[in-house]
Amino acid sequence: MSSAASRPNVRTVASTQSEMTEIILPNDTNTLGNLLGGRLMHFIDITGAMAAYRHSRTHVVTAAMDHIDFIRPVHLGDLLTLKSSVNRAFSSSMEVGVKVWAENTRTGEIVHVASAYLVFVAINQQGERQRVPELLPESADEIRRYEGALRRREHREAEAARRKQAKIASADATASV
């Protein structure tokens, strides 16, 4: 693939890379002093949106957040670091990967606590979909994520079609009772 610099409207993965660090405060935690899952999803959404903004340079909305495993608990006082980048751009949508680590501020131990894939759609002020620039993967890891993003998009589309069929079948069954 030729370099992004020589092709207009083509962006590199590096140009989308984003990072956010938060200290976990009492308001972020449950009764055991662990970070709330919903709060973590909020941080993931925000960090993912940063990468999508950098790629599209327009407004974006979250269309989907894939399955997330909360691998390890995050404790009150930990430093949470989230890193994101665009994996692949399609027409108006972009798949973004977000990876999250927690750092124990006393021991310095850093552990991977969660990862997620999100899809953002670029829109203008009127809410109309906008075409996004092409993404050029460069490193072996970027190419692996780029190829994986197409497989995950096909999987999402198949799942959406399956849910639609199940809804129609359920409505038909209710109507015939």
Ligand X SMILES: CC(C)(COP(=O)(O)OP(=O)(O)OC[C@H]1O[C@@H](n2cnc3c(N)ncnc32)[C@H](O)[C@@H]1OP(=O)(O)O)[C@@H](O)C(=O)NCCC(=O)NCCS
Residue 40 interacting with ligand X (CB under 6 A): no
What distance in Å separates the CA atoms of residue 167 and residue 176, rounded to the nearest whole number? 14
Q: Which CB contacts under 8 angstroms, 24+ apart, belong to 4-7?
A: 4/136, 7/134, 7/136
Here's the x/- map for ligand X, 66-105, by CB under 6 A: it reads as ------------------------xxxx------------
β-bridge mates for residue 35, sequence order = 29
User: Taking CB positions, which residue lies at the least distance from ligand X?
Assistant: 90
Span 105-124, contacts to ligand X by CB under 6 A: 119, 121
Minimum distance of ligand X from residue 90's CB (angstroms): 3
> Among candidates 65, 52, 46, which has minimal Cα distance to 122?
52
Minimum distance of ligand X from residue 115's CB (angstroms): 18
Task: Specify the residue, 91 or 139, whose C-beta has the smaller distance to ligand X.
Answer: 91
CB-CB neighbours of 23 under 10 Å: 12
Name the residues that contact ligand X, by CB under 6 A: 61-64, 90-93, 119, 121, 129, 156
